[in-house]
């Protein structure tokens, strides 16, 4: 069972339609994935409902993260037509996927971290997910610690005491936020960690905290290959006795190592091949034992020290690109 791997629902009912989303969710569950990451804003406010439909008869077997703070746009007929168009024709055009991503960022630019809004979001998430509790309730992309008021923290603690959430946390877009006083109080933190970000990644610390790591393959195959070839990375792998990892192994193992023993890596994966491959990589990582646990810290140590050159160990030919 891939307990260290989570399924990222961000594309659901945005660039991925209902049929393909349900197929991917079933494939993920059948391959042992038991954590699902969603947000009130995903799918323009509709992804939670689809996930709730999927988990209705499986709730006791899995955990769910959802988030509040990013305000979904109103679901109108025009928006529905735009989503269908984006999934169909626009993203096939040169640069179309970037256009879709840019449009999504504009549509989801509104933020609200007020207690009344957080309370409304929690009740709506519980209803959409068809559950009596949420395992991890996250403050979504707070721009600074200032928006996380004492009143908001009291609301989260009260919701936890009332059994509506099991843990509260936040998503962090920067190392500064990961190291902020707010994050130090949080019971869970989700942040992006991949080989493209080696020069600005924090080292997760904190007893009892759950670390979620997202987008392990950010940058795509070309960017991943370039990052994996960095002298600091190759030197760290040589020290650990792991010089022959291919790029996909390295990316997933690094993310799992960053997440730590209790953490989960969140990957958005919607092809059967990528789901099975990632589940297999997560299982293989466990076989590394202490080598795997030391991987991220060893790479970051070499990055911090600076490495002029390292063995030019090339990844095996034929390594398959993997979706994040």
Residues 95-123 pLDDT 10s: 545 544 544 555 567 999 999 999 999 99
Give the separation between CA 94 and CA 90, rounded to whole angstroms. Answer: 9
CB burial of residue 53 (10 Å; 0-12, 13-18, 19+): middle
pLDDT tens digits for range 199-257: 888 877 767 899 999 999 987 899 899 999 999 999 999 999 999 999 999 999 999 99
93 — pLDDT class (breaks 50, 70, 90): low
In sequence order, the 6+-apart residues with CB closer than 8 A to the CB of 76 are none
Residues of the chain with pLDDT > 70, as a percent, come to 83
Check pLDDT > 70 for residue 294.
yes
Query: How confident is the model over 261-287, as a mean pLDDT?
Result: 96
- The model carries a pTM of 0.86
pLDDT tens digits for range 134-189: 999 999 999 999 999 999 999 999 999 999 999 999 999 888 899 899 999 999 99
Question: pLDDT at position 322, please?
Answer: 43
- Element holding 141 (H helix, E strand): none
> What residue ranges do the domains of the chain occupy?
5-219+262-288
Check pLDDT > 50 for residue 320.
no
Tokens, residue 241: 């006795």
Pick the more confident residue, 61 or 310: 61
Query: How confident is the model over 29-46, as a mean pLDDT?
Result: 97
Give the separation between CA 147 and CA 117, rounded to whole angstroms. Answer: 13
Out of 62-71, 72-81, 108-117, 270-279, least confident range: 72-81
Question: pLDDT at position 228, please?
Answer: 93
Check pLDDT > 50 for residue 316.
no
Pick the more confident residue, 318 or 287: 287
Check pLDDT > 80 for residue 324.
no
Homologous superfamily assigned to 5-219+262-288: NADP-dependent oxidoreductase domain (3.20.20.100)
Whether the Cβ atoms of residue 128 and residue 48 lie closer than 8 Å to each other: yes
Residue 319 CA from chain centroid, whole number: 23
């Amino acid at each position: 069972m891939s307990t260290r791997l989570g399924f990222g629902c961000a594309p659901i009912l945005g660039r991925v339609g209902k049929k393909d989303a349900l197929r991917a969710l079933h494939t993920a569950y059948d391959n042992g994935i038991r954590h699902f990451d969603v947000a009130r804003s995903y799918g323009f406010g509709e992804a939670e409902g689809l996930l709730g439909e999927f988990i209705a008869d499986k709730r006791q077997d899995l955990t769910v993260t959802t988030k509040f703070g990013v305000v979904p746009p109103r679901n109108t007929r025009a928006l529905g037509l735009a989503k269908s168009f984006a999934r169909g024709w626009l993203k096939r055009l040169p640069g179309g996927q970037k256009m879709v991503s840019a449009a999504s960022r504009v549509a989801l630019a509104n933020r609200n971290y007020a207690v009344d809004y957080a309370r409304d979001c929690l009740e709506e998430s519980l209803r959409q997910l068809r559950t009596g509790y949420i395992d991890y309730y996250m403050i979504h992309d707070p721009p600074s610690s200032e928006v996380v008021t004492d009143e908001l923290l009291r609301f989260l603690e009260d919701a936890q005491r009332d059994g509506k959430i099991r843990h509260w946390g936040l998503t962090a877009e920067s190392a500064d936020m990961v190291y902020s006083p707010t994050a130090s109080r949080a019971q869970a933190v989700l942040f992006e960690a991949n080989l493209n970000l080696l020069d600005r990644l924090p080292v997760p610390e904190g007893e009892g905290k759950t670390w979620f790591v997202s987008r392990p393959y950010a940058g795509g195959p070309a960017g991943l290959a370039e990052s994996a070839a960095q002298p600091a990375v190759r030197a760290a792998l040589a020290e650990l006795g792991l010089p022959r990892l291919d790029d996909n192994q390295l990316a997933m193992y690094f993310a799992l190592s960053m997440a730590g023993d209790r953490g989960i890596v969140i990957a958005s994966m919607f092809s059967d091949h990528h789901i099975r491959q990632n589940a297999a990589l997560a299982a293989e990582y466990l076989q590394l034992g202490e080598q795997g646990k030391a991987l991220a810290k060893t790479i970051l140590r070499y990055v911090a020290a600076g490495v002029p050159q390292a063995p030019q160990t090339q990844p095996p030919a034929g390594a398959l690109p993997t979706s994040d």
